Each structure stands twice: as structure tokens, then as C-alpha cells.
Chains A and B, each alone.
Chain A
Amino acid sequence: MKRIVRTAMMFLLTLWLVSPARAFTAMDVDDAPESVTIDYLQELYEKVEFDHTMHTDMFGCNACHHHTTGDSPANDSCLRCHADPEPADDVSCSGCHEEKQSGATLSSDSNSNVYHIDKPSLKGALHLQCVGCHQSESGPTGCLDCHSFTPAGKKRFKIRE
């Protein structure tokens, strides 16, 4: 009995997957959060309140989310495999970018054709994305323009009161 149910489900799933009526639709910008709190790295800096709406008003989703929101990616490297992308279940940065750098764990025999061989960590991804764009779009680029120090941060950077 269990088996029949499973087979039926698989059949229906396959039918849905191959059905021509099914088309990937990009996520709607109105569903996006107004603000995102970036709070995973709070040892040296206070959490950062990211004004998501302000940025979506100025740029498309693919400017930051590569292909995960269902938009065709802006980056040529992503385009090679994700020309017609499906919205991902998790579009948050931390959904793909891990807290730890992958460089240390990269095994030598991993598939070198995969672009993701050089995927930055969460901290690297956020900074490269934000600072890179802020440089070309003349946004603020100083560390303390976005961050404020915690007491530990002040101690680390040897700031005298």
C-alpha cells in the first residue's frame, strides 16, 4: 500500500515537473522584507540594519541575489548555468554563503568546472557585494559608515576613549 502511494506521488510530481504549463516566475519585489537585520557577526561590531526597500527601489533583485530570486542573473558567470532560473527556497545570503571560508576545506579533486569553487564566505560575500557596489555607485565605503564598534571592537582596533 505504502509503495503504491509513493509511486503515485512520484508520478504526479514527475507530471508536474514536465508539464509545459509550469513556468518559473520570478519573486515579487513587494514580497521582499523592508529591512534586513545583519546580526551574525557581533563580536567586534554592532548589528547592521540593512534598508532593503531603499536598495530594491534602486536596483533589481539580481544585482545582489544572483539567480536565486528567479530573475535572469546579471553576472555572465552565473548565466552559463542559470539562464532560466527557478526561485530558490531560501534567498537569504546565508542560504548559500556559509559562515566559514570554503577555501580551507576545498578538496583537490572537486569539480573544477563548477564556478562555485570560489564561493566567498558570508562575511566576504556581504562585503564584496556591498563595498563593490558602493564603490562604483558612490555609496559610503568607510567601515564605520555602516558599522559601529562594540567595546570589543574598540579594544581590538586600539581606540582610546
Chain B
Amino acid sequence: MSKKITRRSLLKSGVAGSIAALLLRSKPSKAHQIKTYQNSMGVLVDLTRCVGCRSCEAACNAEQNMPVPAKPFTDQSVFDEGVHGHKRRTDENSLTVVNRYDVPGLDHPLFRKVQCNHCQEPACLTSCFVAAYTKTPEGAVIYNKDVCVGCRTCMIACPFYIPTFRYSSAFDPSIVKCIFCYDTRLKHGRPPACVEACPQEALTFGKRKDIIKIGRRRIEENKGQYEDHIYGEYEAGGTSWLYLSSVPFEKVGFDTSISHVPIIDHVKNFLGIVPMVLTIWPALFTGFHLLATRKERRAKDKSTNGQEVGK
């Protein structure tokens, strides 16, 4: 053994490692500047207007050539399908669903449309290591099936549980999510199919900055009729789809615990440590191991040497 690891040298390297760890640790995250597109589009969803007619679901199904559902879109019994308080979710056959909420103290139910919110700093996009997602200048978060490897990290990253996976097809698996009708409509400046189909104008399409103004005005002009908050203006760093509600948002299925910084900011610190852990920990723990087993090895060496002498 040419180089012995002594207690001293081990402690030395341990201290050095700790100092390095402290120095190399990534800076505490500040809410970073989100790169936003000035003229990106959005949709304002006014829950006080929605009557649960499911015209948006039907329009989406037709526009995106989705399979025919088991029940027609006129069937309101789907609102009672959820078990144990769970509501319907987007799946590989439906990019948008409407859910009913019977809010205590309210004489009429409220309806909430669910689809991709098209975040300004999408967690699906930042979590994707093959860059299958793109945030377009128009505001849509689109997905490229050709580069996707099917890891489904985006499904875990999304704070709104939107991307779904086509498990049913072994030969054509892919992530399925709302793309803001990007290919067929948004790219050409037209509103998505669901917005055009809504009879109640519960969905208002426009530039994100404009629909925020409209939302603020509705809150101001109709005192007491709206919660003084536009959901999505800041949530998860801001979303392109924004919501107005007459009741607290958590009562109609919104996650109000989502912080106002992009999801990536929550994991940046951790991800910064990963390379350091990978380089320092192996050396450190190998050292511990060698130190802990030193006596044993020495005893073994001695006994081997003794045998040799005895021969």
C-alpha cells in the first residue's frame, strides 16, 4: 500500500469537501425574471357565466379529432361521475372537461372548465430533458411527439395535472394535452374552438394583458359579485388562461396553494446540488469506509506477513 489514509488526511479532505459544498451551493432563488411575450394571447374564464352546457367539450372533440365518447355531450350525468369527491380530469380522449361544483350556501351550481392553462413559465417545458415542449410567442404550450421519449416527467411537474399519457396504444404512445388549438387556429390569430363555441361568452379570448384588464373591470363594476382575484395572473408564475369566480377559488377546485413563482424555482436549488453530490460524496464515503476498516485490514496484513515468515 503506497499511500495510507490517515485520520488526519481524511478529516482534511472532509473539511475541504464541506467548504467546497458551502461555496459551490447555488444561490437562494429569487423570483427570476420570466421571459414573457408582449402580445401573447390568453383566455379569461368567467365562472359566474358558465352554465355547464359542455359545448366547449364538444367543439374541442371535433376540432382535435378525438374519439367519440361513451355519452353524448348533451348528457349532464357526467357531472356526477366522480367518486369520493374526485372530479373528472383531462385524459387521452378529452383535452378539456367541465366539472360541476355544488357550493354550500349558493342556490345554483358553479361549473369549471379544465384544460391546459398554458403557463408563462411552464413546468412541463422546464422539466422536459429532450425539449419536447415549446412556448410559442402566441402563448400556447405545444408538444412535439417526435422527440418525446415517454418519460412522463411533465405529468409529475405540472401543478395543474394536465398532461396525460396515451397508455392505450402500444405503438403510438404520446403525451396528450390541450395545445390552445395552435396548429389550426391560434397560429392564424383565431380563438380556440372551445372559446368560439361558448354560448355564454364565459370564455373571452384576447391578449393576456387585455383580458387581465377586462377581468379587473368586471370585478370593479360588479361589486361583491366576484372574488377580488384573477386566478392565474400570478399562480405558478402566471398562466395564459385566467379565471374569475364568485366564490373562493378553493371551493371550485382550484389549488390555491400554488405559489406565485414558477415551478422551476422550487427545484433549482436542489438541482444545483446534484452534480456536487455526485462528485464529492463518492470520495468522502469511500474515505470513511477505508478508515473504518483500517484496523481489520492491518490485522489481515500482519497475519499474512506472519505466515510468510513462518514458512
Listed in ascending order, the chain A residues whose CB lies under 8 Å from chain B are: 77, 101, 103-104, 106-108, 112, 115, 117-118, 120-121, 123-125, 127-128, 131, 135, 141, 143-144, 156-160
Contact = CB atoms under 8 A, between A and B. Distances in A.
Given A143-B53, A143-B74, A159-B72, A128 B191 contact: no
B163 interface: no
Given A101-B195, A143-B53, A143-B199, 18 more contacts: A103-B204, A103-B210, A103-B214, A104-B206, A106-B214, A108-B209, A108-B213, A112-B217, A115-B221, A128-B200, A131-B51, A143-B55, A143-B74, A144-B74, A156-B73, A158-B61, A158-B69, A159-B74
Given A118-B214, A143-B74, A101 B204 contact: yes
25 contacts: A101-B191, A101-B195, A101-B201, A103-B210, A104-B191, A104-B206, A106-B206, A106-B214, A107-B210, A108-B209, A108-B210, A108-B213, A118-B218, A123-B199, A124-B199, A124-B200, A127-B199, A127-B200, A141-B51, A143-B55, A156-B58, A156-B62, A157-B58, A157-B72, A158-B68
Contacts of B209: 108
Nearest to A110: B210
Nearest to B210: A106
Contacts of A131: 51, 200
Contacts of B58: 156-158
Interface string B182-203: 0000000101000100111100
B237 to A, nearest CB: 22
A107 B209 CA distance: 10
Contacts of B213: 108, 112, 117
Contacts of A135: 108
B201 to A, nearest CB: 3
A159 B191 CA distance: 26
Contacts of B49: 128
By Cβ-Cβ distance, the 9 closest A-B pairs, closest first, are A124-B201, A103-B206, A103-B204, A157-B73, A127-B199, A159-B72, A158-B72, A120-B201, A106-B210
A107 B206 CA distance: 10
Nearest to A120: B201
B34 to A, nearest CB: 19
Contacts of A117: 213-214, 217
B221 A158 contact: no
A106 to B, nearest CB: 5
Contacts of A112: 213, 217
B200 A118 contact: no
B217 A118 contact: yes
A160 B72 CA distance: 8
B205 interface: yes
Nearest to A125: B201
